[in-house]
């Protein structure tokens, strides 16, 4: 492709005396030959449930308008080749479809998709306690990676594929560690029962409100205080249900 463009460019230059036209042709040639250098890039990430923050396996990740696709692993991870100007689609049975333009995205992502909850039968809810009994420490150790100072001493190692993967994984582990208290609170079935009974909600409505809560109050997901999280949940559900 580049050889053909070069021959065509050389022919046009020889046939053209106008300096402005030659400059324009040169610009077009450089633009066309530079496109392959940034055409495809390896994007990776994790897909999680927008309400429970749990990793989702089996999500189909597809590059829109192409035949490139993959499926998330048992831990919700995916890797796919795409152009920076492409759009990724995420589809899974029981969840709303999601589209993500890659133009402003980094090469590692954390995606939240919301569940389509369907209730078949009425459920009787009994709440036995107000807050979870115990918050377990589920902190995970991030993989050891080179520091920025190490990068000056060994730049080739710092920018190697292995070190890049370590830095990506470390960011994901750190994010999971920061949100572990919040995830334990909102995934506790007792908390769901408390909220549903207190505000007379069906399960479908509960999950819809919880998704909205996560979008409007992202800062609370980093709280280490279960009492603060529960208070924020109660305040939100009280406000949301009073407007119905």
Look at residue 236 in the predicted model and tell me its pLDDT. Answer: 92
Considering the domain boundaries, does residue 62 fall inside one? yes
Is the model more confident about 37 or about 184?
A: 184
Average pLDDT over residues 7-34: 53
Pick the closest to residue 238 from 202, 198, 188 (CA basis).
198
Look at residue 13 in the predicted model and tell me its pLDDT. Answer: 52
The tokens describing 114, both together, are 């919301």
Q: Mean pLDDT across the chain, nearest whole number?
A: 76
Look at residue 201 in the predicted model and tell me its pLDDT. Answer: 92
Tell me the per-residue pLDDT of 185-236, one tens digit each, with 9 for 90 and over.
888 888 888 899 999 999 889 989 988 898 888 888 888 888 888 889 999 9
Average pLDDT over residues 98-123: 74
Calculate the dihedral angle through the C-alpha atoms of 199, 200, 206, 209, rounding to the nearest 10 degrees: -50
Tell me the per-residue pLDDT of 66-84, one tens digit each, with 9 for 90 and over.
989 999 999 999 999 998 8
Look at residue 8 in the predicted model and tell me its pLDDT. Answer: 53
Look at residue 126 in the predicted model and tell me its pLDDT. Answer: 39
- Concatenating the DSSP letter of every residue in 49-77 gives ETTT--B-TT-EEEETTSS-EEE--TTSE
Other CB atoms within 10 A of residue 91 CB: 15
Give the CA distances from residue 235 to residues 3, 20, 52, 231, in Å, rounded to whole numbers and listed in that order.
66, 67, 19, 6
Q: How confident is the model at residue 88 (pLDDT cuts 50, 70, 90)?
A: very high
Domain boundaries, position 236? 148-242
Considering the domain boundaries, does residue 217 fall inside one? yes
Same domain, 155 and 98: no
Give the CA distances from residue 190 to residues 19, 111, 210, 213, in Å, rounded to whole numbers and listed in that order.
77, 26, 15, 18
Residue 155 has pLDDT above 90, yes or no: no
Poorest-pLDDT segment among 13-22, 45-54, 232-241: 13-22
Same domain, 181 and 171: yes
Residue 125 has pLDDT above 50, yes or no: no
Same domain, 206 and 221: yes
Question: Cβ distance 206 to 192 under 8 Å?
Answer: yes
Bridge pairing between strands 60-63 and 87-91: antiparallel
Running DSSP on this structure, what letter comes out for residue 19? H
* CATH code, 87: 2.60.40.1120
Is the model more confident about 122 or about 46?
A: 46
Share of the chain above pLDDT 70, in %: 69
Same domain, 156 and 177: yes
The upper half-sphere exposure of residue 199, i.e. CA atoms within 13 Å in the direction of its Cβ, equals 23
Look at residue 182 in the predicted model and tell me its pLDDT. Answer: 86
Poorest-pLDDT segment among 38-47, 156-165, 215-224: 156-165
CA 211 to chain CA centroid, Å, is 15
Highest-pLDDT range among 18-22, 171-175, 185-189 = 185-189
Look at residue 78 in the predicted model and tell me its pLDDT. Answer: 94
Considering the domain boundaries, does residue 129 fall inside one? no
Q: How many domains does the chain have?
A: 3
Considering the domain boundaries, does residue 128 fall inside one? no
Considering the domain boundaries, does residue 134 fall inside one? no
Running DSSP on this structure, what letter comes out for residue 36? G
């Amino acid at each position: 492709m580049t050889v053909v463009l070069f021959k065509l460019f050389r022919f046009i230059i020889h046939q053209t005396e106008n300096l402005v036209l030659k400059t324009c042709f040169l610009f077009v040639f450089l633009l066309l030959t530079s496109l392959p250098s940034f055409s495809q890039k390896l994007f990776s990430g994790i897909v999680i449930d927008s309400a429970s923050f749990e990793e989702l396996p089996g999500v189909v990740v597809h590059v829109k308008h192409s035949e490139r696709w993959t499926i998330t692993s048992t831990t919700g991870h995916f890797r796919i080749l795409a152009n920076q100007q492409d759009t990724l689609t995420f589809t899974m049975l029981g969840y709303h479809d999601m589209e993500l333009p890659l133009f402003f995205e980094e090469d590692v992502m954390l995606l939240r998709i919301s569940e389509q909850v369907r209730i078949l039968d009425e459920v009787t809810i009994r709440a036995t306690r107000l807050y979870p009994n115990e918050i377990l420490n589920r902190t995970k150790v991030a993989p050891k990676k080179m520091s920025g100072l190490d990068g000056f001493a060994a730049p080739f190692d710092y920018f190697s594929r292995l070190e890049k993967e370590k830095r990506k994984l470390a960011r994901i582990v750190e994010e999971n560690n920061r949100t572990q208290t919040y995830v334990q609170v909102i995934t506790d079935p007792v908390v769901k029962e408390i909220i549903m009974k207190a505000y007379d909600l069906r399960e479908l409505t509960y999950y819809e409100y919880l998704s909205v809560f996560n979008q409007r109050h992202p800062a609370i997901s980093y709280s280490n205080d279960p009492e603060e999280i529960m208070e924020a949940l109660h305040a939100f559900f009280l406000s949301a249900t009073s407007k119905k």
